[in-house]
Structure 1
Amino acid sequence: MINKSKSWEEFLENMKSIDYEIKFGKHIAFRHKDKQRFTRAKTIGEDYTEEKIKERIDLAIKNKSNPIKKRVGNIIDISTNEKAQSSKGYEVWARKHNIKTMADSIIKLREQGINSITQLDDLIKKSADDRQDLLDKIKKIETEMKSLSQDMENINTINKYREIYKYHKKNPDDKQFAEEYYSELSVYKIAAKEILENYTKLPKIKEILTKLDKLQEKKNTLMQEYSLNKEQFSDLVQYRKNYENYYGKEVER
């Protein structure tokens, strides 16, 4: 969690360290030691109010603690790249780019304990299997959630037409009533039949909602894992392509 007060205090200390005096009031103001007057931060622009400054400080700290992951670079096949064939300058740049990209790829693989192309292929297969397993689990949860949603709809139907069904049950000879409420009685019977297939007694809506919430939490967690796995798989495949392009095709030769 970001310590907002601390980050704000550090900002103020930094301003003082570069010879700015700070005045607090309705609006915060700053004055450099070489200037006679204070300048309200707000007069510089709406983005320089005390609140906006604090927001930017907090955002900067948050971004620093959660840096954007650098994507895996692509090896350029110089032998087939039209730009490399027509421009000597681009070819030189592409060779340097390939060396750096391949070096970065090897370093990243070493960090994951991968020291051979065989290990990389094994990890790609495992990542693909893990992703399919996650996808199967997500689909299973979605199926369960769909079933629970249908249960909830059936419960609402039963509650809505219960009195009509109870009257019909007590008065089976009332043909006029049965004809008048034929649709309601039909959907009630269908809903009741489906509920009895899954439950020994009519569940409460609250119970269904609790189960749905728990399943949604599980799905969210699995979706995050799936997203990370998908990204990892994409990186591993790109490392493999880089290896093929750099060593297999010998584009640097």
Structure 2
Amino acid sequence: MLIEDDHLLANTMLGMLRDEQNTVDWLDDGQQALNALLNDSFDLAILDLTLPRVDGLDIVKKVRSQGIETPVIILTARGDLDEKLQGLNAGADDYLTKPFAMAELKARIRAVTRRGAGFRTGGLQVGRLILDPDSGQLKLGTETAALPRSEFQILHYLMRHPDQVATRRRLEEQLYGWEQGAESNALEVHVHHLRRRVGKQTIRTVRGVGYMLDSKAAAEVSPE
């Protein structure tokens, strides 16, 4: 999630983040952002401090007080060291002062999300499946394949939550964010293509709910 009330900067960042195969939701209001972080799940929050209604520091404090460990990178024009320390002490994972280079932000994102998701060397791993978030490549045994963006988004989420049911709504949000709707059978088509890569038993259908990545099957799968 990107939380930034400078619309020009936000649009630039959205373009960069989406070019990196991320699904990004954008909010420009502190209260809306706080509600979203308290009630939904995100891989990362990029958070401006000066926001309408609720200040960014207060957002971090309230989120952490509820035991929510979503990684947070603070972006702000406030360059004072004390304010930087306040943000980190409140529970933020990293801090960038505006103006900043997009290349540096991307590097900070990779570092923070690796720490938060428990990435292993070489990528995110479940069983014999290894997914590289930087390149979008899936490695299975000695075979490597570059995944289309939609397949990457689905598999990335499932591998971060193995043996847990992912609802249709949650997976569609990974594909389209909150702003767009999905075609009725789009998710099934992407899952079908993924199963051809990782094995039908690896991604199980939970009837009427969604899908689940079976870690036991992932440990036994072999490339075709």
TM category, shorter:
under 0.3
TM-score (norm 1): 0.19
TM-score (norm 2): 0.20
Q: Which has more strand, going by share of residues?
A: 2
Give 1 or 2 for the bigger CA radius of gyration: 1
